[in-house]
């Protein structure tokens, strides 16, 4: 699980620092491989090679929202991670989401680190290797 601390100003003008949680499970990754055109691998490759900001923006939004959730401890003391459409919808309407999204659009290296961080631990080394084989494109340079 990846924890990101995001600083932003809320709708009332208050400075806020919030911890956000992100994770993809192996089951979700397999599902993405079979439901996203070309699979997750192709999606990640597009981030590295595309010169089309529209595609990078769409991929960033999809990965942020797919992986977002809330951590809690159940009545047995087990730490759980809850994700559902209601949580995604609520999060996507916040300044926290906007701030995080913009940081990824402005800094592709930070976005690459995010992508790796949301993956299961045993997959992270494999993804790092694949990403170093194809250097990332800076989205700001393609505008």
Classify residue 142: in a domain, yes or no: no
Task: Provide the whole-model pTM.
Answer: 0.79
Q: How far is CA 135 from CA 11, 15, 44, 59, 79, in A?
A: 38, 36, 12, 17, 36
**CA gap 45, 96 in Å, rounded:** 27
Classify residue 143: in a domain, yes or no: no
Q: Spell out the residues 6+ positions from residue 10 whose beta carbon is closer than 8 angstroms to its own.
A: 16, 95
Classify residue 60: in a domain, yes or no: yes
Predicted confidence pLDDT, tens digits, the chain (143 residues): 999 999 999 989 999 999 999 999 999 988 888 887 777 777 777 666 766 677 778 888 999 999 999 999 999 999 999 999 999 999 999 999 999 999 988 887 888 889 889 999 888 877 767 656 655 444 444 44
Domain that holds residue 106: 2-137
Domain count across the chain: 1
Classify residue 13: in a domain, yes or no: yes
């Amino acid at each position: 699980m990846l924890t990101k601390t995001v600083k932003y100003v809320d709708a009332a003008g208050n400075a806020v620092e919030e911890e956000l949680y992100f994770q993809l499970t192996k089951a979700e990754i397999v599902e993405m491989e079979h439901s996203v055109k070309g699979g997750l691998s192709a999606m990640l490759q597009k981030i590295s090679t595309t010169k089309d900001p529209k595609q990078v923006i769409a991929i960033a939004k999809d990965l942020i929202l797919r992986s977002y959730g809330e951590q809690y401890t159940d009545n047995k003391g087990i730490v759980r991670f809850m994700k559902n459409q209601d949580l995604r919808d609520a999060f996507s309407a916040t300044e926290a989401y906007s701030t995080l999204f913009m940081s990824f659009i402005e800094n592709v290296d930070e976005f690459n680190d995010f992508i790796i961080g949301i993956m299961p631990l045993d997959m992270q080394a494999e993804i790092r290797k694949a990403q170093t084989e194809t250097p990332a494109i800076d989205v700001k340079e393609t505008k």
